[in-house]
Amino acid sequence: MKAVAALKISPLFRALDRRSLRALGDAAEWRDYRGGEYLFRRGQPGDALFLVVHGRVRVIRAADRGAPAAVVEAGLGQTVGEVALVTGEPRVADALALRDSRVLRISQSAFEAVVQRHPAAMLALVRQLLERQRHDAVTHPRDRRRSARTYALVPAHDGIDIRGIGSAFSRTLAGFDSLMRLDPSRVDQALGEGAAATDFEAGGNARVAGWLNRLEDAYRYLVYQATGELDAWTRRCVRQADRIVVIAHRDRDPAGSRVLAWLREAELRAPVELLLLDRDDDEAPARSADWQSVLAVERQHRIDASLPAAALGRAVRLISGQALCVVLGGGGARGFAHVGLLRALEDRGLAVDAVGGTSMGAFVGGLVACGHDSDTVLDTLRDTFVTHNYLNDYSFSRVSLISGQKFRRQLLSIFGERRIEELPMPFFCESTNLTRGLPVVHNHGHLADWVGTSMAVPGIAPPTVYQGDLLVDGGLMRSIPFETMHAMGLGPVLVSDVSRNADLRVEQARGELPELLSSVDGAPRHLNIFKILFQSATLTSERETRELDRQADLVLHMPVGESGMFDWEDIDGIVYRAYHHADEQLDRWAGGGTSG
């Protein structure tokens, strides 16, 4: 591509006349950066701006007074380095090539010459900077995942069916948009024998890089399939990647992987995801921790090595930010409504890819994360709360009305020794640290322990003691843990809210003066200590509800206002009403309607 053609793709320069474009193009300088290389560093003179023609550049501004570091990514036609050019001050950010990138460097003197002839160029630049400030300066993890265009699939050792995994990975990703999968044979077929083995410094590199850049313009996604050897092609795959996916058998020793050692030493800045293949005879759960201790990864995904095509779908959706994430709130028997949502999703063929919850939502979410369908979840809830009542071991001790032992034994019989980090999908639940007044996110450890803790309503069930602190029901601080799922950035978030319309109003016969509830004439039968305690642990303010409606992709405020928090016998009615509500709301959501 010629410099003038490159300038025309930029909103900053496309309005210039031909003469100015030619003059600026003649003054601009082409520069190539390999993935992981810096265009400029903090503190350097702001003597130029850079127009991204191919590749991707990340600009990282240091954290300020406890705020997170600001991250902005620039792709085709976007510029970086403008702030220092305008202010004349040293640079306050680093600019890093996320993959092999080609840019036009436009010096300060060249830009000022254009501005003198076309003041509108400076106006366009100022507008661009203001637009960036108006939007979030910190790129949300979900946006960063979804903006990824290039993926490198890298086998960590021999014995991995990289062709089969690459094919299955690409088929799922191609369901979202156009895609090209690249391996050495495809490159050699297009450019001639040995083209894939061309090094970055070699004379033929520009030809290979140019061809790859043209493919990036033609396709939404490129999947680079590495060889597993430390050859020129594998190195190029990793440098070109917006996200690197390392594939390994879970029972292999990571210390023996030369590829892994090189990835560590290369200090590449693209996020790394770990795809661990489980075998039927895999009895070494600690191996997954070994891999993560050797390689810094953003997330790990476990799939069945015998069924890679079926198991890879969820992993690909999580990696690409296309996962369906579900958050389930707390609310006692009202939480049965979550089953209605699960059933409505199943009817549409929509698989839950990540789940989180609080209190009853933690219980239902834990069952979903174990791989159970809505029928099994419903059967388990019926057995636990209706057929048998595992909450009736009353103790009236100094700390709670029940001992909680029966319910914890039931949780152990359901979940066994499963650990959260070993589940087939991302899962978390939340509790409240009563000692410190903080919400606690549980995303590792024994599932039964933390689900039980998340359901421990203060005063009704005993707290969990952990590292000297008292942990109780998560709903005490956040009955709907949306923020935790949102921050994970894995995909659209659906929320099932069952906390509304609590009947806690009392008619006063003696006027409006304050009086103790115990002294009110004819104290209402619908109120008791259980309901008051439970409502205290699942309270959602109107402000929180409005904020939830604004941020979540879909919030289902389930029709559970007529159901009490201990109406266990109404399980089928609650599920039925919730299913039809979810069915309607999912139709509206799919059609672009609003949440409700």
CA distances from 304 to 155, 277, 282, 308, 592 (A): 16, 6, 11, 6, 35
Which tens digit of pLDDT belongs to each residue from 14-59? Answer: 777 788 888 889 989 999 888 888 999 999 999 999 999 888 888 8
CB under 8 Å to 246, separation ≥6 — which residues?
Answer: 154, 156, 259, 260, 263, 272, 273, 274, 275, 295, 297
Answer for the pair 359, 458: CB distance below 8 angstroms, yes or no. no
**Closest-CA residue to 20 (of 9, 31, 8):** 8
Split at pLDDT 50, 70, 90, the class of 136 is very low
- ∠ CA 564-524-577, nearest 5°, is 20
Which tens digit of pLDDT belongs to each residue from 277-291? Answer: 886 554 444 445 477
Write out the DSSP string of 453-500.
Answer: HHT--TBTSPPEEETTEEEEEGGGT-SS-HHHHHHH--S-EEEEE---
Is the C-alpha dihedral spanning 200, 203, 206, 207 positive or negative? negative
CA distance 577 to 337: 8
> What pLDDT does residue 35 have?
81
> What pLDDT does residue 537 have?
55
Instruction: Lowest mean pLDDT of 143-147, 162-166, 268-272, 592-596, name the range.
Output: 592-596
338 or 250, higher pLDDT: 338
User: Dihedrals φ, ψ of 437, to 5°?
Assistant: 70, 40
pLDDT of residue 568 exceeding 80, the answer is yes
Residue 474: exposed, middle, or buried by beta-carbon count in 10 A (0-12, 13-18, 19+)? buried
473 given a catalytic annotation: yes
Answer for the pair 517, 506: CB distance below 8 angstroms, yes or no. yes
Catalytic, out of 100, 183, 473, 570: 473
The pair of structure tokens assigned to 206 is 């520009």
Which tens digit of pLDDT belongs to each residue from 145-189? Answer: 787 889 999 999 988 999 999 999 999 999 999 999 999 999 999
For the chain, how big is the Rg over CA atoms in Å?
Answer: 28
CA distance 362 to 575: 17
CA distance 285 to 267: 28
The pair of structure tokens assigned to 588 is 């509206």
> What pLDDT does residue 492 have?
94
The pair of structure tokens assigned to 165 is 């995994």
Element (DSSP H or E) covering residue 304: strand 299-304
DSSP 371: T
Q: What is the chain's mean pLDDT, rounded?
A: 84
CA distance 215 to 228: 23
CA distance 423 to 532: 35
State the amino acid at position 36 in one-letter form. G
CA distance 320 to 324: 11
Averaged pLDDT, 94-98: 89
CA distances from 229 to 170, 232, 276, 292, 446 (A): 21, 9, 19, 21, 38
Averaged pLDDT, 340-365: 96
CA distance 145 to 543: 30
Q: Does residue 167 sit in helix, strand or coil?
A: helix
pLDDT of residue 593 exceeding 90, the answer is no
State the amino acid at position 533 in one-letter form. L
Instruction: Lowest mean pLDDT of 269-283, 338-352, 459-473, name the range.
Output: 269-283
pLDDT of residue 358 exceeding 90, the answer is yes
Residue with tokens 């978390």: 428
Our separate counts of H helices and E strands in the chain read 22, 22
Q: Which residues of 284-321 are buried (b: 16+ CB within 10 A; e: fewer)?
A: eeebbeebbebbebbbbbbbebeebeebbbbbbbbbbb
Averaged pLDDT, 302-329: 86
137 or 514, higher pLDDT: 514
Which stretch, 41-45, 64-68, 213-217, 373-377, has highest mean pLDDT? 373-377
> What pLDDT does residue 470 have?
92
> What pLDDT does residue 477 have?
83
Split at pLDDT 50, 70, 90, the class of 309 is low
Is the C-alpha dihedral spanning 180, 186, 187, 192 positive or negative? negative
Averaged pLDDT, 265-279: 83
Averaged pLDDT, 343-351: 96
> What pLDDT does residue 522 have?
54
Is the C-alpha dihedral spanning 306, 308, 312, 314 positive or negative? negative
Averaged pLDDT, 379-383: 96
Answer for the pair 214, 180: CB distance below 8 angstroms, yes or no. no
The pair of structure tokens assigned to 434 is 């009563």
> What pLDDT does residue 595 have?
53
pLDDT of residue 506 exceeding 70, the answer is no
The pair of structure tokens assigned to 38 is 């810096």
Answer for the pair 298, 320: CB distance below 8 angstroms, yes or no. no
Determine if residue 183 is left, alpha or beta; phi over 0 gives left, psi from -120 to 50 gives alpha, anything else beta. Answer: beta
Averaged pLDDT, 323-331: 94
The pair of structure tokens assigned to 117 is 């002839």
pLDDT of residue 137 exceeding 50, the answer is no
Catalytic, out of 359, 374, 400, 499: 359
Averaged pLDDT, 445-472: 91
CA distance 437 to 431: 11
Answer for the pair 341, 578: CB distance below 8 angstroms, yes or no. yes
CA distances from 116 to 120, 209, 445 (A): 9, 36, 64
DSSP 219: -
pLDDT of residue 435 exceeding 80, the answer is yes
Residue with tokens 């942990």: 471
CA distance 193 to 185: 9
The pair of structure tokens assigned to 288 is 């997954």
